[in-house]
């Protein structure tokens, strides 16, 4: 048994070294189609030093009891200072850390700064320590997330194939057919709809500026040590009303990012949504009659979760800046950004608030090549998570898909507006240019653009109905492609013509699907699935409803032919993801379906003792846990921060 332990140590340590090599040498942005044997990409790596911001949300009842200022408002600094008693908080028994208030995310949630940079492990320990306080709802690191981007392939022709008929290209969206429909005597173009693009901001462009609402906002806040005050913002100041993109070029490898030119990511995304149409210039946006609200949340080397969450709330009209709310509330929020990991509570809170206000969140799934997981905030509950497909309808190897993916849209050789500046922008029209680029970043705005077309037809449409119409109108992935019959790639491929037809007819039901537990769910746990179905305005009543399981280890559904079904997660299984579909059919045979995915905790096979007299010879769970910790610690120490900074 001693030899068994020694062998296991060797294997685990070698596995750590091998995984480190894969993480640092993987090629991002490959355009090969996936195969059934496509490997799961290594998760983006984390920087090991330089963390000093965290988000703390207090429980509401705590806030009500906290000392208040003379103005009657809860003083967040007072709350934070309570953690500094007895010389600060002890982190891993090694450092005494003092906390100070930095800014607010919401009434109860605040960004807190440590008095010294900490490693990721130390910051994680600090958040766990804070979360154990009875007054705290949650605490988490205020991390940066990054623009979803895969490198452009210069061999691709700069054309708008994705906007055209699926009769010519299997992966196209049929948007040109949708434009030929009319509503209220006007062409379907997205007119009257506001789409917020939360990204790097905008640059002026003759083919875009007429559709830009320059009442946007810059949420990129000042940095804290060890970074210079405006290293992320790159515009010499913090938050302000100017959402212009100053450029996000990087020459400082000390921030953990590679040297790069400015990418004008937000301008590219905005052009896909709403480049001006019918002007004999350049390109046309999916919703060429809609308006884009630029909300700057990303700068050099990404942006902070706290800034993105604030930008989401402001765009949806539920957060005021200096007492002023957004005058152009967006019903669609496009987030072509993300990072690895499960959905942070700060993101989920923002999504919940935005949805409650009546706005929908569309997010890209990421470009790490994973076939099992998608990035956050796409993996948050209630988000329309968009993966990418190619001209043929196949899935490119860079596109993340997995449980929680809602829909797929074209994401290869997607034409967009650009600026020729390599650092700062070149003034329009001299700097105006275009580019065909690849990435889930450019698939998400195609879905946002089609959503704008639907809201023009029916401005009163709620977010559940809007989601249903997008999902129920998809085309199936072509036979023989990686995503054929795979729910991990979403419901299917975006189809603008079919979606607009569904909304114009308004006869099919609307459905939603939720689970009382989603991520992570313990083994042998009872889970309740709840579906809702509402008849279309021009339709008939609901005839049948029911639940079916579409992926994961098979379980028994109780109440499968009702709106509420239950099942118990299996005690053991190699598979941790499960997906269920709720479907409703109207009396007139119209149907609608929604899916919900859950992730279970891993269930390793039990280890039996070796038997034999004398004892002490079995490899027990304490041994395995210690060995795994050694291997994973070695892996974490070898990870390079640059891989987390790769584009999305």
The predicted structure's pLDDT at residue 74: 59
- Give per-residue pLDDT as tens, 500-536: 999 999 989 999 999 998 778 999 999 999 999 999 8
Give, in order, the Cα–Cα distances in Å from 247 to each of 206, 338, 423, 635: 18, 19, 6, 34
Cα angle at 16 between 14 and 20, to 5 degrees?
115
* pLDDT greater than 80 at residue 611: no
Share of the chain above pLDDT 90, in %: 59
Confidence at 79, pLDDT banded by 50, 70, 90: confident
Instruction: Give which of 232, 212, 182 is closest to 50, Cα–Cα.
Output: 232
- Secondary structure of residue 63 in the 3-state scheme: helix
**Residues marked as catalytic:** 199, 265, 441
- Give per-residue pLDDT as tens, 154-188: 322 347 899 989 998 999 999 989 988 988 888 89
Q: What is the mean pLDDT of residues 136-156?
A: 66
* pLDDT greater than 50 at residue 645: no
- Name residue 435's beta-bridge partners: 416
Confidence at 73, pLDDT banded by 50, 70, 90: low
The predicted structure's pLDDT at residue 278: 85
* pLDDT greater than 80 at residue 627: no
* pLDDT greater than 60 at residue 7: no
Share of the chain above pLDDT 70, in %: 82
* pLDDT greater than 50 at residue 609: no
pTM: 0.81
Residue with tokens 């050789």: 413
Secondary structure of 161-214 in HEC code, one letter for each residue: HHHCCCCCCCCCCCHHHHCCCEECCEECCCCCCEEEEEECCECCCCCCHHHECC
Measured CA to CA, the distance from residue 93 to residue 486 in angstroms comes to 48
Give me the helix-helix angle, 444-457 and 265-274, nearest 10°: 40
Measured CA to CA, the distance from residue 479 to residue 458 in angstroms comes to 34
- Name residue 103's beta-bridge partners: 111
User: Exposed (0-12), middle (13-18) or buried (19+): which is 377, by Cβ within 10 Å?
Assistant: buried
Which range, of 100-104, 105-109, 321-325, 624-628, averages the lowest pLDDT?
624-628
Q: What is the mean pLDDT of residues 616-630?
A: 37
* pLDDT greater than 50 at residue 21: no
- In contact, 263 and 147? CB cutoff 8 Å: yes
Going by their DSSP bridges, the two strands 384-389 and 360-364 should be labelled as parallel
- Give per-residue pLDDT as tens, 419-431: 999 999 999 999 9
* pLDDT greater than 70 at residue 617: no
* pLDDT greater than 60 at residue 30: no
* pLDDT greater than 50 at residue 637: no
- Name residue 361's beta-bridge partners: 333
DSSP letters spanning 605-629: PPPPP---TTS--S--HHHHHHHHH
Q: What is the mean pLDDT of residues 587-597?
A: 88
- Give per-residue pLDDT as tens, 216-248: 999 999 988 777 889 899 998 999 999 999 999
Measured CA to CA, the distance from residue 563 to residue 586 in angstroms comes to 14
* pLDDT greater than 80 at residue 56: yes
Confidence at 296, pLDDT banded by 50, 70, 90: very high
The predicted structure's pLDDT at residue 75: 80
Its sign, for the CA torsion 86, 88, 89, 92, is negative
Instruction: Tell me the average pLDDT of the chain.
Output: 83
């Amino acid at each position: 048994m001693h030899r068994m332990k020694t062998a296991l140590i060797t294997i685990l340590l070698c596995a750590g070294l091998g995984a480190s090599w894969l993480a640092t040498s993987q090629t991002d942005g490959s355009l090969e189609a996936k195969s059934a044997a496509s490997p799961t990409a290594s998760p983006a790596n984390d920087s090991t030093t330089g963390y000093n911001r965290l988000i703390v949300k207090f429980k509401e009842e705590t806030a009500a009891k906290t000392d208040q200022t003379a103005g009657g408002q809860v003083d967040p600094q007072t709350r934070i200072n309570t953690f500094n008693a007895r010389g600060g908080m002890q982190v891993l028994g090694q450092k005494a850390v003092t906390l100070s208030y930095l800014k607010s995310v919401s009434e109860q949630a605040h960004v807190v700064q440590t008095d010294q940079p900490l490693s990721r492990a130390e910051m994680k320990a600090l958040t766990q320590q804070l979360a154990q306080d009875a007054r705290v709802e949650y605490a988490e690191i205020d991390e940066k997330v990054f623009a979803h981007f895969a490198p452009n392939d210069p061999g691709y022709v700069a054309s708008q194939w994705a906007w055209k008929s699926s009769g010519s290209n299997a992966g196209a969206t049929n948007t040109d057919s949708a434009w030929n429909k009319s509503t209220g005597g006007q062409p379907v173009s997205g007119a009257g709809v506001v789409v917020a693009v939360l990204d790097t901001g905008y640059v002026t462009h003759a083919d875009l500026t007429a559709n830009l609402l320059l009442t946007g906002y810059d949420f990129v806040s000042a940095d804290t040590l060890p970074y210079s005050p405006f290293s992320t913002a790159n515009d010499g100041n913090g938050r302000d009303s100017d959402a212009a993109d100053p450029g996000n070029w990087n020459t400082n490898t000390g921030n953990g990012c590679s040297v790069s030119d400015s990418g004008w990511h937000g301008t590219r995304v905005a052009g896909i949504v709403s480049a001006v149409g019918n002007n004999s210039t350049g390109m046309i946006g999916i919703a060429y009659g809609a308006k884009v609200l630029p909300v700057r949340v990303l700068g050099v080397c990404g942006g902070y979760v706290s800034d993105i969450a604030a930008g989401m709330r402001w765009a949806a009209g539920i957060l005021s800046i200096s007492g002023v709310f957004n005058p152009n509330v967006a019903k669609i929020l496009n987030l072509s950004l993300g990072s690895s990991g499960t959905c942070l509570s700060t993101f989920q809170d923002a999504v919940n608030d935005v949805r409650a206000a009546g706005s929908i969140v569309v997010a890209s799934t990421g470009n790490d090549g994973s076939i099992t997981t998608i990035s956050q905030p796409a993996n948050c509950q209630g988000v329309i998570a968009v993966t990418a497909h190619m001209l043929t309808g196949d899935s490119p190897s860079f596109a993340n898909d997995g449980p929680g993916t809602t829909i797929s849209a074209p994401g290869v050789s997607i034409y967009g507006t650009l600026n020729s500046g390599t650092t700062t922008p070149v003034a329009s029209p001299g700097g105006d240019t275009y580019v065909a680029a690849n990435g889930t970043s450019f698939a998400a705005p195609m879905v946002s653009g089609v959503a704008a077309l639907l809201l023009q037809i029916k401005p009163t449409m709620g977010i559940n109905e809007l989601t249903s119409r997008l999902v129920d109108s998809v085309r199936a992935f072509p036979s023989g492609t990686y995503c054929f019959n795979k729910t991990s790639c979403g419901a299917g491929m975006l189809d603008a013509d079919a979606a607009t037809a569904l909304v114009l007819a308004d006869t099919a039901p609307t459905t939603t699907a939720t689970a009382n537990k989603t991520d992570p769910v313990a083994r042998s746990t009872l889970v309740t699935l709840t579906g809702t179905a509402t008849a279309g305005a021009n339709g008939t009543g609901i005839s049948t409803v029911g639940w079916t399981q579409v992926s994961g280890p098979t379980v028994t559904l109780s109440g499968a032919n009702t709106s509420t079904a239950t099942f118990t997660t299996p005690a053991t299984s190699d598979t941790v993801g499960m997906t269920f579909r709720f479907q409703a059919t109207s009396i007139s045979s119209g149907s609608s379906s929604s899916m919900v995915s859950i992730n279970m905790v891993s269930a390793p096979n039990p280890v039996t003792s070796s038997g034999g007299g004398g004892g002490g010879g079995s490899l027990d769970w304490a041994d395995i846990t210690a060995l795994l910790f050694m291997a994973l610690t070695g892996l974490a120490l070898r990870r390079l921060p640059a891989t987390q900074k790769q584009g999305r």
